[in-house]
Structure 1
Amino acid sequence: MNDSPGWATPGSSPSDGEGSPGTQPPAGGSGSDSKWSAEQPPPGQWSSPTPGHTPPNPQQPPAPQPGAGWGSYGTGPQNGGPNGWGAHTQAVKPGVIPLRPLGLGEILDGAVSTMRKHWRAVLPITLIVAVVVQLTSVLTQKYLFADLVVDASGSGTGKEELESFGSMIGVSALDGFIQLVGSIVATAMLTMIFSRAVLGHGSSIGAAWREARPQLLRLFGLTLLLGIGSAVLFGVLVLPGALAGQAALAILGGFAALGVILWLWIRFALASPALMLEQTTVRKALVRSSKLVKGSWWRIFGITLLTGIITTLLSALIVLPLTVMGALVFGGGLDGMADGTGATSWGYLISVGIGGVIALTITMPVQAGVTVLLYVDQRIRREALDLELARAAGIENYGTTTPPTGG
């Protein structure tokens, strides 16, 4: 066990159906949030609680208050979890989150706390990516979109309008590809920073890059696979009705496609941190995410949706005033925006770009952090990852306190 991201070797977790070397599988069923972990260290590094056993030089957790449970709140009996002897008490908190199952507020607070405590590593990454993305967007709109405006008067031929529309799609695809690459790099590096923040360890941009670089191509492949898979699924369910000229059938297929895509998207929501932190393959990361999300789909959906709403509103509060100011001051007002000249003026584009840089710099770490902490939370609930995290954080004898006896 060390303090490197991942905290466990790929494929050694109980959700993969394999125990680590020298361990026994859990006696209970699989997939339950309250089962004891099969992810235990090799013999000699950690001893499970046994009556009358006192480990050498123990560091006891805080004494429980009257009426409270015994120990910290985790997933196993040693932590007073659902199958333990007590209820929620103060948990060990070496980093930005306590080592127990997390609530919504704790996940959001952990993401924001990491930004605040480790801003020297977090903000430069997101700022650089945001500047590159917005600069590309500004130059694209200024020098390419300005020449690809479809003639609204109807004087152009259908072929010319089709070519212009195709060129516009190509430029948009190029712009989107650059944004995709930037977001993947930022997500990979931020994942490493958040993994260390959970342990209370700092990180640097160079260290985050070195740890993330080996998995970047796989993360890129994972992102493309999810995107292409969603597009193919949508086409399969919508095209039959569209080709048959049945609008109702096409609309019904569209709703069905959106539902299936949403379900799959949440089911694979934890694939990215699993890929990066467990140093695994794309296929294994998808399987890991599916098993970790199983039984908690609605909870993860709700937290992901709420995070998206919060970051969207925050972005709107930043971007919208600068967009309106740019349109009124530099874009010629409503007339300039209506005829398309204002939307390609330097003043307007720069105003919108500045707003986009600020918004991305702030919201990107929040979204990445929530995803990483959801992954950590699910592993604590299902695999008692708090034991591994405590050892990686240097907390000795965590979880070895003998439970109270008697009624």
Structure 2
Amino acid sequence: PGYGPPGHGDPGYGHPGYGPPGGWGGPWGGPPPAAKPGVIPLRPLGLGEILDGAVATMRTHWRTVLGISLAVAVVTEIVVVLLQGLYLDNTAVLDDPSATPEETLRAAGGSLLNSSVVLLVTAVAAIAATALLTPVMSRSVLGRPVTTGEVARDIRPQLPRLCGLTLLLPLIGAAIIGVGTLPGILVALGGSTAGGAALAALGGMAASVLATWVLVRFSLAPPALALEKQSVRKALGRSAKLVNGSWWRVFGIQLLARVIAGVVGSVIAVPFTVLAGVLTGNGLGNFLDGTADLGWSFLMISGIGGVIGSALTLPLTAGVTSLLYIDLRIRREALDLELARAAGVERPGPGPTPGS
């Protein structure tokens, strides 16, 4: 319509094929949309498309995704429950008014160490889930089916490197924070407890900022290693190169994904925590005022909620990280053209580029 010869007196008369609508002066529909063989369009992605792509992968390949994330969640929760059950009683001296400063400092250090180890284990689980679920994300982008066996065959040759990278990244963060807090700890051990604690707190905060900056730069190393089959060192360098110039965007999107995952995980875990308090005789009141006896029964029942929450939230954060890696390669290396060829689709046009 609009491309037939105009009548006498119509705009464009004497120039067949250019009459309105749709001709010169008519509305332009813009470039055609980008191809979308899978869960994302093959062009630079916006925040909403990254989150939608992660959720769509969970829905489309839920058996494979749930199987992998559930295995990671079970192993992680077992380690966390054992740590809490074995070392939680050491913090009782913190509530004892008759405890000496040395006992209080020792108990506080043990509590901090326990919390740090639990955080380290949780970080290892997140990195492992990202590496294991990256092949699922890559196939879902191409619109291809995937099974757990295919993921295992794809990951098996890279498993030693993935294990090394999974342990290395949290250790880098822990080492930076440890160096920052070490002067304060030494001062406290030398006799100046208050001064040492203040120095350790300041050093820990400064080191935490540096550790966050470093870990965000290396956060795309797991998908880089899993998809590009590189060494650990080259995967770290690849991640740093991709994140360079986009640090705040990568940090913001990953932070948002973790906040969403934390809210969802808490909603799932709270009922199990309340149930554990009721079944173990502690009651909700004792749990809220800190007087509950957190024994093995309580930890195991609440741990079930932790497993379910982690199994549902790990794929979200892993999917977001993998799609950030793909998005940055599309923006900088035209990966969308390679993906379109791999998916066997003609890429009709770039489509609009989101500004986020």
Please report the TM-score for the alignment, with normalisation by the length of structure 2.
0.76
Q: Which amino acid aligns with 1:279?
A: K
Q: Write the mapping of 1:167-178 to structure 2, written as runs, cut at 5 A.
A: none
CA-CA distance at 1:125 after TM superposition: 1.4
CA-CA distance at 1:229 after TM superposition: 2.2
CA distance in 1, matches of 2:146, 2:344: 17
Are 1:211 and 2:122 an aligned pair? Answer: no
- 1:79-125, CA deviations, whole angstroms, 9 ceiling, x for partnerless residues? xxxxxxxxxxx210000000000000000000000000111111111
Equivalent position of 1:44 in the other structure: none
Equivalent position of 1:282 in the other structure: 232
Are 1:314 and 2:275 an aligned pair? Answer: no
Task: Give the SS at the match of 2:294.
Answer: helix
Equivalent position of 2:181 in the other structure: 238
CA distance in 1, matches of 2:44, 2:274: 43
Q: Which amino acid aligns with 1:308?
A: R
CA-CA distance at 1:320 after TM superposition: 1.6
Equivalent position of 2:28 in the other structure: 67
From the superposition, tell whether residues 231 and 300 of structure 1 become closer, same or farther in structure 2 (CA, over 3 Å): same
Q: Is the 8 A contact 1:129 1:182 kept in 2?
A: yes
CA distance in 2, matches of 1:235, 1:364: 27
Equivalent position of 2:166 in the other structure: 223
Greater percentage in helix: 2
From the superposition, tell whether residues 308 and 179 of structure 1 become closer, same or farther in structure 2 (CA, over 3 Å): closer
CA-CA distance at 1:134 after TM superposition: 2.6
Equivalent position of 2:3 in the other structure: none
Q: Is the 8 A contact 1:314 1:359 kept in 2?
A: yes
CA-CA distance at 1:400 after TM superposition: 9.2
Equivalent position of 2:253 in the other structure: 303
CA distance in 2, matches of 1:256, 1:173: 17
Q: Which amino acid aligns with 2:54?
A: A
Are 1:342 and 2:293 an aligned pair? Answer: yes
CA distance in 2, matches of 1:309, 1:250: 27
CA distance in 2, matches of 1:224, 1:210: 22
- 1:159-180, CA deviations, whole angstroms, 9 ceiling, x for partnerless residues? 9999988988898788777766
Q: Output the aligned Cα RMSD.
A: 3.4
Q: Which amino acid aligns with 2:144?
A: H
From the superposition, tell whether residues 147 and 237 of structure 1 become closer, same or farther in structure 2 (CA, over 3 Å): closer
* Between 210-219 and 353-362, the greater mean CA deviation after superposition: 210-219
From the superposition, tell whether residues 254 and 133 of structure 1 become closer, same or farther in structure 2 (CA, over 3 Å): closer
CA distance in 1, matches of 2:253, 2:276: 34
Q: Is the 8 A contact 1:199 1:392 kept in 2?
A: yes
Q: Is the 8 A contact 1:184 1:219 kept in 2?
A: no
Equivalent position of 1:100 in the other structure: 43
From the superposition, tell whether residues 149 and 196 of structure 1 become closer, same or farther in structure 2 (CA, over 3 Å): same
Task: Give the SS at the match of 1:343.
Answer: coil
CA-CA distance at 1:234 after TM superposition: 2.2
Q: Write the mapping of 1:191-206 to structure 2, written as runs, cut at 5 A.
A: 191-206=134-149
CA distance in 2, matches of 1:279, 1:176: 28
Q: Write the mapping of 1:128-277 to structure 2, written as runs, cut at 5 A.
A: 128-138=71-81, 141=84, 144-145=86-87, 150-151=92-93, 153=96, 183-244=126-187, 246=195, 249-277=199-227
- 1:319-359, CA deviations, whole angstroms, 9 ceiling, x for partnerless residues? 1232123223434224478786631152x334312211211
Equivalent position of 1:372 in the other structure: 322
Unaligned runs of 5+ in 2: 1-25, 351-356
- 1:6-31, CA deviations, whole angstroms, 9 ceiling, x for partnerless residues? xxxxxxxxxxxxxxxxxxxxxxxxxx
CA distance in 1, matches of 2:119, 2:185: 27
Task: Give the SS at the match of 2:144.
Answer: coil
* Between 248-257 and 223-232, the greater mean CA deviation after superposition: 248-257
CA distance in 2, matches of 1:330, 1:378: 50
Q: Which amino acid aligns with 2:169?
A: L
CA distance in 2, matches of 1:399, 1:351: 53
Q: Is the 8 A contact 1:319 1:359 kept in 2?
A: yes
Q: Which amino acid aligns with 2:53?
A: G
CA-CA distance at 1:157 after TM superposition: 9.4
Q: Is the 8 A contact 2:180 2:207 kept in 1?
A: yes
Please report the TM-score for the alignment, with normalisation by the length of structure 1.
0.67
Q: How many residues align?
A: 316
Q: Is the 8 A contact 1:190 1:365 kept in 2?
A: yes
Task: Give the SS at the match of 2:162.
Answer: helix
- 1:286-318, CA deviations, whole angstroms, 9 ceiling, x for partnerless residues? 111111111111111111111111111111111
CA distance in 1, matches of 2:331, 2:42: 10
Give the fraction of aligned pairs with identical amino acids, expressed as a percent. 51
- 1:34-66, CA deviations, whole angstroms, 9 ceiling, x for partnerless residues? xxxxxxxxxxxxxxxxxxxxxxxxxxxxxxx94
From the superposition, tell whether residues 181 and 155 of structure 1 become closer, same or farther in structure 2 (CA, over 3 Å): same
From the superposition, tell whether residues 130 and 251 of structure 1 become closer, same or farther in structure 2 (CA, over 3 Å): closer
